[in-house]
Amino acid sequence: MRQEIAITVDTVILKDLLSSARILLIKRKNEPFKNSWALPGGFLEETENLKEGAKRELLEETGLEVEVLNQLKTYGDLNRDPRGRTISIAFIGKLNKEVKIKAGDDAKEADWFSLDELPELAFDHSKIIEDAKKYLQDYNL
């Protein structure tokens, strides 16, 4: 029997990299992990490419448009999502200016957090953020 596999996209959006780096998180409105903080993201639609999906989810959940997103890594641990087998492609982007964010779609809240003081996160998003920190160091961003 063939198992259905879902594909999601997540975005790591950072700002203030030269001072106290901050990351954009959303509070989930729905299960699983209802009321938990997470990276903006969601299910990829059949008619969009990966980066388009990441930009769409970011816009829907935070009202934020980011021009440049780089693919960070793919995450596919078997138990990363309690709903079933889900593979996520994470993207990373940065902002160099102040922007207004507004929670929307399935995000209850959206806010900036210090990279050094993160709340408990849904799914494997703490792992994604650790990989993003390593990416920043490796590429001197």
Residues belonging to the active site: 109
Q: How far apart are CA 46 and CA 135, in angstroms?
A: 29
In terms of phi and psi (left: phi > 0; alpha: psi -120 to 50; beta: otherwise), the region of 114 is beta
Q: How far apart are CA 46 and CA 4, in angstroms?
A: 14
